[in-house]
Amino acid sequence: MSTRIPVIVLGGTGYVAGEVLRLVLGHPQFELAGVMSDSQPGEAVGKAFPHLAAALGGVVFESQAAITQRIASLPRSAVFSAAPHGVSAALIDTLLQAAEAAGTQPRVVDISADYRYSSADAYAAVYKHAHGAPARIAQFTCAVPEHLAHASTPHVAHPGCFATATLLASVPLLTLDLVEPRLFVSGVTGSTGSGRKPVDGTHHPTRHSDLYSYNALAHRHVPEITACAAAASGVHADFAFVPHSGPFARGIHVTVQATLKRPLTGEEVLVKLREYYARAPFVRVDKSAPRVKDVASSNYAHLGAAADGRSVAVMCAIDNLNKGAAGGAVQWMNRLFGLAETTGLTAPAPGWT
């Protein structure tokens, strides 16, 4: 493409927004055109993200009014929403209304949970409050990029980080009819998954050298995982999910276990996973155990598997902020603008993080 695509980032002060900014600043076809934060308008974005300050230059946070005007003035734009759950839906709706009135065409990837569900009732059942823009839900598709070649809607909702890892591990098992539709998931996430605002669960002295579960069998990602798995595989499965807080900042490791419908060895499962993800440039299937350090800060996912003829375990490691959020969102935005989905995302994990 001869001209760069202007990018707007909403909810610009959190960890996910910072990761979106990092990826956009290094993207060959995207150009940062505005960062919205109603709580810090006029403040330097580099003050919130010192590691990005040199690349950001004098970019400052802008108000919703200023960003609305910007989107309405741009013939096309890429809008990433990293606004909080419960806020993103109405914010996006307001911006899209202004764009529609002006005849401009932004494409939106929402990284919050607000457009991940197929109905306002399904959303309200999980988040215990009304959806902010029910009429807009039909304009969003929710899927992991590897499980849907093309979105049939103008906008996309990216699944959550735990959901992304779980779906990458489980959808092939269901699609290929390898397992009974009852899956058991154990996942461990880094502290950045809980957001930037300090709470007991993310306070470093609490998590350091420790490991503990939370919201066992009652995590809010389960309905999202169930719905996305059904959409991707055509199978309605039950997921029993136990999340854990890990003593590290970035990354997610999940183990998905299920009962095989027919005897398979671990190597046979690996072959089937490799075939399923043969055209997925960010998924690596290997007999070695996936390690968080091998993917942290990257958009890559590593899968491994073991089987004993009766049961199968598929392990998946991803970075929660990148593949599980910002990177997956950029991957979708690349597709929405007709770019190769790998554009700006092929940097390997740094290792030794």
CB 91 within 8 A of CB 83: yes
Residue 156 CB partners (closer than 8 Å, separation 6+)? 108, 109, 110, 140, 141, 142, 143, 329, 332, 333, 336
Q: Kind and range of the H or E element at 256?
A: strand 252-259
Helices then strands, counting H and E runs in the chain, come out as 11, 14
Residue 140 CB partners (closer than 8 Å, separation 6+)? 108, 110, 115, 153, 155, 156, 157
Distance CA 62, CA 219 (A): 34
Distance CA 204, CA 266 (A): 37
* Ranges of H-type helices in 26-157: 45-48, 53-56, 64-73, 88-102, 120-127
Torsion (CA) 114, 119, 125, 129 in degrees, nearest 10: 50
Distance CA 282, CA 43 (A): 36
CA 278-284-285 angle, 5° bins: 85
Q: Which residues are catalytic?
A: 161
Q: Kind and range of the H or E element at 220?
A: none
Count other Cβ atoms within 10 Å, centred on residue 267. 12
Closest CA to 147 of 71, 233, 210: 233
